[in-house]
Structure 1
Amino acid sequence: MSMLPTTLPAWLALLEARHAETHIDMGLDRVRAVKERMHLEFACPVIMVAGTNGKGSTCAMLESVLLHAGYRVGLYIKPHFLDFNERARINGGMASDAMLVDSFGFVESRRGDTALTYFEFTTLAIMHLISTAGVDVAILEVGLGGRLDAVNVIDADVAIVTSIDIDHAAWLGETREEIGFEKAGIFRPGKTAICSDPLAPQSLIRHAGDIGADLWLIGRDFNYQGDQQQWSFGGRTQRRNSLAYPALRGANQLLNASAALAALEALRMQLPCGAQEVRTGLALVELPGRFQVLAGRPTTVLDVAHNPHASSTLAQNLGNMGFHRYTYAVFGIMDDKDIAGVLAPMAGLVDHWCVADLPSPRSAKGDALAARVAALRPAGAKEADFSVSAFPDPAAAFANAVSRAEENDRIVVFGSFYTVAGVMAARKNSLH
């Protein structure tokens, strides 16, 4: 056996090189076999979160409330913006390189000759890391779909599906009914299954019934009400009144917060959380790249919106921000996305488009993207009021927007994790 890597960058390089050769078959048999050889299990409650949009926000709210309630919390969340370590959080901080290297070595020692993709290998490693870190609760975010996602080799005590929309049609299906069935694959017999999509697909409701999961639907088993100042949550047995709005801004955050509070209600015997801890946890939650408004001027907003549902939410949030003279968009997107559907809600809000190639073979090409965006030009618009330019990467597109935008303009970075990550990295480098 050749020497194993001793550093995190070397491990990631090895897994990426292997990944290029690993054919993805969408089954869980290989992951399950390695999981069993690892004896991977959790001695604490596990909350699993799937959904097209809102997964990250729901995970972040759960983590924040539980930390404020004094529990040790493990969180697996993806993808990462700047450092791989962002994917594994123990007690509110990123896992160290040393912890990750140990976990990668452990998976490798139990893998035998079973081929694992990059995603499967790193998922098993991070779940092992969290399961051995002495946490009181584990929160696991599902990557793609649910039923066949590597995270789903674990049985969750509470499974949450946040929203069901069309995103990865090639893998998950063309309709909300097909996608709903895939996401419902994380539900378990006799365990709490929460759906915070106001229009839960029949396929999800039926699957929960077929397997005997305890299904909580928003509007039926739990709900929320809000005015300008505060909001309240009502569950099956628990009410939480006069809550502050979550620190994460945006239209869907009360749906996400309600799902998190429903999960905490289901686990109230194992993990009781007081009213003040819930209030503080929601008021202080942070999540990079989800309608993240940076300090300073011109106003800069980072949002990973990359499907029509997320894009229309972003447009709604931008509409609530007050007056800005011009809006500059830094936009890059994967070619397999519904690009027209992502652009449509933003068309009337953006004056100047800086489109970018992304560092992925799946990236939509800048010139082709520029041509699509140019079609959004309002009739008779002057060059000063509407422009489109293409750039080789998000950093160059952002630099151009910054050079042109004035104090009372705003810059919106969206379209992909890669777009936001490219701008975050550029800003980080310019601050050093």
Structure 2
Amino acid sequence: MSFASAAALGHAASVVPSAQSPLTDWLAYLEALHGQRIALGLQRVQAVAQRLGESVRPRCPVITVAGTNGKGSTCAMLESIYRQGGYRTALYTSPHLVHFEERARVNGEPMAATDLTPSFAAVEAARVAGEPVALSYFEFTTLALVHALLAQQPDVLILEVGMGGRLDAVNVWDADCAVITSIDLDHQEYLGPDREAIGYEKAGILRTGRPAVVSDPAPPHSVLARAREIDADLWLAGRDFRFGSDRQQWHWQGRARRYPGLAHPALRGANQLINASGVLAVVEAMHARLPVSAQAVRQGLALVQWPGRFQIVPGQPVLVLDVAHNPHAVAALAESLDAMGFYPQTQMVFGAMADKDLAPMLQRLDALVDGWHFCDLPTARAAPADALCQLWQGLTARRDARAHCHATPSQALQAAVAAADPAGRIVVCGSFYTVGGVLQHGLPRLGAKHLQG
């Protein structure tokens, strides 16, 4: 069945919610509206955006962030710095960890569900006006959330690309400044077989004559070629901006500005200085339109928060939450775990999507792990826990490690706590669903052999 046919059937079989309906009703309606979650291409979302008119046309600078890893952290640091600079910020990201409303933030706080549903109704009205347009779940929610964010009259709109860039729904809005973070192999069935092909898709967010900040230290040639082709204002790490660091502080220098003696960002992890360096390049590139003080930069980096990105929760044992879900991100996670110092034991809660390159992810973590707790996840895309366990058993060289399977991430965490050394650590990773599954009842607080709060 075609995408359009599935959408038509879903529409005919579903009751359309109203602007006053609960957000959960709208999300259920969108799930039933079509049978295809990923449908790349801009024609459909452009058509509906055109019908929505001025309500989805930004009157403020737009910063668009694409990349394989580091997008969310980059967005969070930009949001934090501009908030400290006194600007009213609007941030669109995806996916969410626990609550859908996390995808739309104003001044660092998720929008209320009741403030989102009128925008869902507006998008639906535009979608069916005249010839109905079939929108994917992502396309519909992207339009609705940006519609809701712009209604808040922000001073700056920060958009995180969902997948790729060139054909992603977010690319309907022209970026006043485009950011490309690290590029690695992920979503190859949609974006291409290698970094060059994937880089070309990411570079689709660049615009002629406008800043294009590339924080990847070794970007694919396709990104540079696209920037030259359209005459973008290319900011390259190592050429237009650079940083250095020691254990106490770090420093940054751009084309005309420099920041010495910076405290390390509040976001932890091996790649966060690379992300932060790109963020400061954006701040310099956009300074004429969004001037911020050095103090705002320092405070923004010091106060930034972004759950699930090498998030360390103190306790007995220590809990580490990280949404690393591809080999590149897992390698960075493993490097960050090594840098934490000695722990007598590490228990791992792991759930992941079946379409990921799972073998190198498991191999990279295996030497660090004393006990695996594989878990099922609440999506058809997920690899079953027993399949993950079988894959690990075929790869591991460890004879002292143990593995168990669980129905949910929260059950896996409970088992990991029961098996943990109080002086050790528990790591939760592999997917947004895995981290979200242990956060659904709030941030776990670990005490010896039990969970608190």
Q: Shared fold by TM > 0.5? A: yes
Superposition map of 1:53-64 within 5 A: 53-64=69-80
- Matched residue, 1:75: 91
- Matched residue, 1:258: 277
- Matched residue, 1:169: 188
Secondary structure, aligned partner of 1:389? strand
The farther-off stretch of 182-191 and 22-31 is: 22-31
Match of 2:46 among 32, 54, 64: 32
Structure 2, unmatched stretches of 5+, are: 1-11, 445-450
Q: Is the 8 A contact 2:215 2:236 kept in 1?
A: yes
Q: Once the 2 structures are TM-superposed, how far is the Cα of residue 431 of structure 1 from its aligned partner?
A: 6.0
Q: Is the 8 A contact 2:359 2:395 kept in 1?
A: no
Structure 2 counterpart of 1:34, which letter? V
Structure 1 counterpart of 2:107, which letter? N
- Matched residue, 2:106: 90
Cα distance between partner residues in 1 of 2:395 and 2:373: 14
Cα distance between partner residues in 2 of 1:338 and 1:377: 16
Give aligned pairs, total. 427
Secondary structure, aligned partner of 1:375? helix
Q: Once the 2 structures are TM-superposed, how far is the Cα of residue 377 of structure 1 from its aligned partner?
A: 4.2
Q: Once the 2 structures are TM-superposed, how far is the Cα of residue 200 of structure 1 from its aligned partner?
A: 1.1
- Matched residue, 2:33: 18
Secondary structure, aligned partner of 1:228? coil
Cα distance between partner residues in 1 of 2:93 and 2:388: 30
Q: Once the 2 structures are TM-superposed, how far is the Cα of residue 242 of structure 1 from its aligned partner?
A: 1.1
Structure 1 counterpart of 2:323, which letter? V
Structure 2 counterpart of 1:309, which letter? H
- Matched residue, 2:425: 410
Q: Once the 2 structures are TM-superposed, how far is the Cα of residue 58 of structure 1 from its aligned partner?
A: 0.3
Q: Is the 8 A contact 2:66 2:180 kept in 1?
A: yes
- Matched residue, 2:156: 137
Structure 1 counterpart of 2:403, which letter? V
Q: Is the 8 A contact 2:90 2:105 kept in 1?
A: yes
Structure 1 vs Structure 2 CA RMSD? 1.5
Cα distance between partner residues in 2 of 1:431 and 1:242: 38
Match of 2:344 among 312, 319, 325: 325
- Matched residue, 2:384: 365
Q: Once the 2 structures are TM-superposed, how far is the Cα of residue 138 of structure 1 from its aligned partner?
A: 0.5
Q: Once the 2 structures are TM-superposed, how far is the Cα of residue 428 of structure 1 from its aligned partner?
A: 5.5
- Matched residue, 1:199: 218
- Matched residue, 1:243: 262
Cα distance between partner residues in 2 of 1:179 and 1:147: 10
Match of 2:403 among 382, 385, 388: 388
Q: Once the 2 structures are TM-superposed, how far is the Cα of residue 177 of structure 1 from its aligned partner?
A: 0.2
Give a deviation string over 1:349-380, Cα, whole Å, max 9, x none.
0010010111111111111211122235445x
Q: Is the 8 A contact 1:395 1:426 kept in 2?
A: no
Cα distance between partner residues in 2 of 1:180 and 1:369: 30
- Matched residue, 2:299: 280
Counterpart check, 1:187 vs 2:210: no
Runs of 4+ in 1 over 3 A off after TM superposition: 22-25, 375-379, 426-432
Secondary structure, aligned partner of 2:34? helix
Give a deviation string over 1:373-420, Cα, whole Å, max 9, x none.
2235445x3xxx410111122111111001111211110001111111
1:410–1:303 CA distance, 2 compared to 1 (3 A)? same
Cα distance between partner residues in 2 of 1:54 and 1:214: 22
1:147–1:125 CA distance, 2 compared to 1 (3 A)? same
Structure 2 counterpart of 1:230, which letter? Q
